[in-house]
Amino acid sequence: MAYEVEAPKYVRLAQTIQQRIEDGTYPPGTRVPSENQLVQAFGMSRPTVVRALELLKRDGWLESRQGYGTIVRGRPAVVEDDKSRRGSEALARDESQTPGRLVEVAHVPVPARVASVLGLPKRAKVLMRRFLVEEDGEPVELVSSYFPAGLVEGTELESAAVLSGGTRAHLETRQKVRFDHVKERVSARLPEPGEAELLELPDGVPVLSVLVVACDASGQALQVSELLLPADRQELEDTYRLS
């Protein structure tokens, strides 16, 4: 699979280290090579190496231990029963069967919050599909999905018509890629004017943002979806076992 824009050096280095973790070159519990060793081995600058390591720490592949260095954690734990998770729902959602409407389909400059996880530079173009989910005629969720331009070229994802079947099934069938795991990042922010208008939010009401990053086995992001939910209409509850 070829993308139109090459990923930044630190992202490519992080992917290489991640592949070595998965193939057993860097086993869980061991120390990764030092920054100096990585600089020499890959011929990259120290800031690039540091940034790659920080990316892997953020995503759970590595961790720093006081007095011991950077340790391999292995593949981040994936929740087995994720049928109720919003990220899985976003990948499987059939637009043609979901109450609501397709708001926009366009090639747009990649948003800053999406560029880094897709491994794209600023101002690169991505395909965006934006869908407004409604319940009883009331907007309850705004889903904006972003795809690397080279991944969706010639597919139905570029069509302004609603998509039958989820984006995951569509891409796996037509582009021969395979989704492996999903990472979710939850935060709160004020909506942009267009977002507030679509969600019918009064001024000053924040939204809950769920950034869903769907990756293949190598860690390459295939799709990023941002789910916006009105904060004044959400109640989150979770149950977990104490160890």
Please report which helix (H) or strand (E) contains residue 173, including its range.
helix 167-174
Residues 6+ apart with CB under 8 A from 1: 150, 151, 175, 177
- Pick the range with the lowest mean pLDDT from 66-70, 79-83, 142-146, 158-162: 79-83
pTM score, whole prediction: 0.65
Measured distance CA(207)–CA(201) in Å, rounded:
9
Tens of pLDDT, residues 49-105 = 988 898 888 778 898 877 778 889 877 755 444 434 667 778 888 899 899 999 999
Average of per-residue pLDDT across 194-205: 93
Task: Judge whether residue 2 has pLDDT over 60.
Answer: no
Average of per-residue pLDDT across 101-122: 90
Tens of pLDDT, residues 4-25 = 345 568 878 988 998 898 888 9
Mean pLDDT, the chain, as a whole number?
84
Instruction: Determine contact, residues 1/150, Cβ cutoff 8 Å.
Output: yes
Measured distance CA(16)–CA(119) in Å, rounded:
13
**Half-sphere CA count of 128, side-chain side, radius 13 A:** 19
Helices 35-42 and 9-22, interaxial angle, to 10°? 110
Torsion of the alpha carbons at 57, 63, 69 and 74, rounded to the nearest 10: -100
Task: Judge whether residue 242 has pLDDT over 60.
Answer: no
- Residue 125 pLDDT: 93
Residue that the structure tokens 């490519």 belong to: 12
